[in-house]
Chains A and B, each alone.
Chain A
C-alpha cells in the first residue's frame, strides 16, 4: 500500500515535469521518470511475499514444476517490452530535439513556437 502510493507519487513527479518544464531535455527526462514509475508499479503488483524469481534451476524444481512459491512472471514479460518501447521513444525524442536545436539554436520551448495556438 505505502509502496504503491510512493510509486504513484513518483509518477506524478514525472507528470509535473512534463507539464511545467520549459526545456526539451527536462521534458524528455520527465517522460523517463514517468516510464520508471509505471514499470516499477507493474512489477510491484507482481511481487509475492516470500517468493523467489521465476526461473527454474535444478535446486528449486522437480519434474519441471517449482517446489516453492514464485513471483508472477507475466508482468515481468510485459515490462521487458515496455522498457524497449521506452528506449525507442527516448531515441526518437533525442533525435527530434537535436534537430530542433539545430533549427532554433535553443532548447527553450517558449522560444520554439512557430506554430500558432
Chain B
C-alpha cells in the first residue's frame, strides 16, 4: 500500500532537517515553561507532532522499525507515576500534597522555581508519548471500506 512507503524524496529530505528543529523547539518550550509562554503540555504536543511528521513523511513501516510503542506506553505511565510520587514527596517535605519543596532560586533563571521545571518535563514527556501512541493506534487500525450494502 502506498501509505506505508511515505511521501516523495523532497518531503523526506526536508523532514530530515525540519524534524530536529521541531524537536528542539518542543524541548525549548518545555524547559522554559516557567519563564515564557508555553510549558509542558504545549511542548509535549510539539514533540508529538514531530514524531507524527516522521510517520507521515517516511511511512508507517519505517516508524515501526525503530519506535517501540510498548516502551512509549510504559514511559507514559511511569511519567504519570513520577508526577504522583513528586506529589507524595511534597506531602512529606513540604506543606501538603504536591507542595513545591525545592529551593525557589532566583527569578528569571532557567534553574529556578523548585519543582515547576521538573513537573513541566514530566508532563511534556508524558503528553508527547501519549498523543503519539493515540495517533499511531488510530492510523494502524485499518478498516474494510464499507458502503456496498
> When chains A and B are docked, how far (Å) is the Cα of A101 from the Cα of B145?
10
Are A80 and B41 CB-contacts (below 8 A) given A64-B107, A98-B143, A101-B143?
Answer: yes
Q: Using a CB–CB distance below 8 Å, which chain B residues touch chain A? A: 36-37, 39, 41, 107-108, 131, 134, 137-138, 141, 143-144, 146-147, 149
Residues of A within 8 A of B108 (CB): 56-58
Query: Measured between C-beta atoms, what is the minimum distance from B113 to chain A in Å?
Result: 12
Residues of B within 8 A of A84 (CB): 41
Query: Measured between C-beta atoms, what is the minimum distance from A58 to chain B in Å?
Result: 6
Chain B contact residues: over half helix, strand or loop, or mixed?
loop
Are A55 and B134 CB-contacts (below 8 A) given A105-B147, A105-B149?
Answer: no
Chain A residue with Cβ nearest B107: A64
Check if A94 sits within 8 Å of B146, measured CB to CB: no
Check if B134 sits within 8 Å of A91, measured CB to CB: yes
Are A102 and B143 CB-contacts (below 8 A) given A56-B107, A94-B138?
Answer: yes
Query: Measured between C-beta atoms, what is the minimum distance from A39 to chain B in Å?
Result: 14
**8 A-B pairs with least C-beta separation:** A105-B146, A102-B143, A91-B134, A64-B107, A105-B147, A84-B41, A105-B149, A98-B141
Kindly list 16 other residue pairs between chains A and B, CB separation below 8 angstroms, not including A87-B131, A102-B143: A53-B37, A55-B36, A56-B107, A56-B108, A80-B39, A91-B134, A95-B137, A95-B138, A98-B138, A98-B141, A101-B143, A102-B144, A105-B146, A105-B147, A106-B146, A106-B147
Chain A residue with Cβ nearest B137: A95
Chain A residue with Cβ nearest B41: A84
Chain B residue with Cβ nearest A64: B107
Check if B146 sits within 8 Å of A101, measured CB to CB: yes
Residues of A within 8 A of B143 (CB): 98, 101-102
Query: Measured between C-beta atoms, what is the minimum distance from B50 to chain A in Å?
Result: 17
Residues of A within 8 A of B147 (CB): 105-106
Residues of B within 8 A of A98 (CB): 138, 141, 143
- Among B36, B131, B137, B146, find the residue whose CB has the most chain A CB atoms closer than 10 A: B146
Within 8 A of B (CB), among A66-105: 80, 84, 87, 91, 94-95, 98, 101-102, 105
Q: Mark A19-60, 1 if CB is under 8 A from B, else 0.
A: 000000000000000000000000000000000010111100
